[in-house]
Structure 1
Amino acid sequence: MSKLFFRYAAMNAGKSTALLQVAHNYEERGMRVRLFTAAHDDRAGVGLIASRLGLQREAETFGPDTVFVREHLGDIACLLVDEAQFLTPDQVRQLHRLAHGGRLPVLCWGLRSDFQGNAFPGSAALLTLADDLEEMKTICACARKATMNLRIDAAGRRVREGEQVVIGGNDRYRAVCPRCFYNDDASEPGHAPGLFG
Structure 2
Amino acid sequence: MAKLFFRYAAMNAGKSTALLQVAHNYEERGHSVRIFTAQVDDRYGHGVVTSRLGPQRHAEVFDATTDFQALLGEQPGIACILVDEAQFLTKAQVWALHEIAHLRNLPAICYGLRTDFQGELFPGSATLLALADEMDEMKTICDCGRKATMNMRVDANNRKITEGAQVEIGGNARYRAVCGRCFRQS
TM-score (norm 2): 0.97
- The residue identity in structure 1 corresponding to 2:54 is G
Matched with 1:31 is: 31
> What is the CA–CA distance in structure 1 between the aligned matches of 2:98 and 2:76, rounded to whole Å?
17
> What is the CA–CA distance in structure 1 between the aligned matches of 2:45 and 2:92, rounded to whole Å?
26
Using CA pairs under 8 Å that are at least 6 residues apart, name the structure with larger relative contact order, 1 or 2.
2
- State whether residues 31 and 77 of structure 2, in contact with CA within 8 Å, keep that contact through their aligned partners in structure 1: no
**3-state SS, counterpart of residue 73 of structure 2:** helix
Quote how far apart the aligned CAs of 1:91 are: 0.2
Quote how far apart the aligned CAs of 1:74 are: 4.7
Matched with 1:93 is: 95
For residues 31-55 of structure 1, give each alpha carbon's deviation from its aligned partner in whole angstroms, at most 9, with x where no partner exists.
0000000001000000000000011
Between the aligned residues of both structures, percent identity stands at 66
- The residue identity in structure 2 corresponding to 1:37 is T
Structure 1: state its 5+ residue gaps: 185-197
Structure 2: state its 5+ residue gaps: none
- The residue identity in structure 1 corresponding to 2:35 is L
Number of residue pairs matched by the alignment: 184
- The residue identity in structure 1 corresponding to 2:82 is L
Moved over 2 A (4+): 72-75
Change (3 A) 1:60 1:157: same
Quote how far apart the aligned CAs of 1:102 are: 1.1
Larger Rg, first or second structure (1 or 2): 1
Quote how far apart the aligned CAs of 1:75 are: 2.9
For residues 164-190 of structure 1, give each alpha carbon's deviation from its aligned partner in whole angstroms, at most 9, with x where no partner exists.
000000010000000111113xxxxxx
Q: Show the 5 A alignment for 1:55-70.
A: 55-69=55-69, 70=72
Q: Is it true that 1:76 corresponds to 2:78 in the alignment?
A: yes
Change (3 A) 1:52 1:26: same
Q: Show the 5 A alignment for 1:1-197.
A: 1-69=1-69, 70-71=72-73, 73-184=75-186
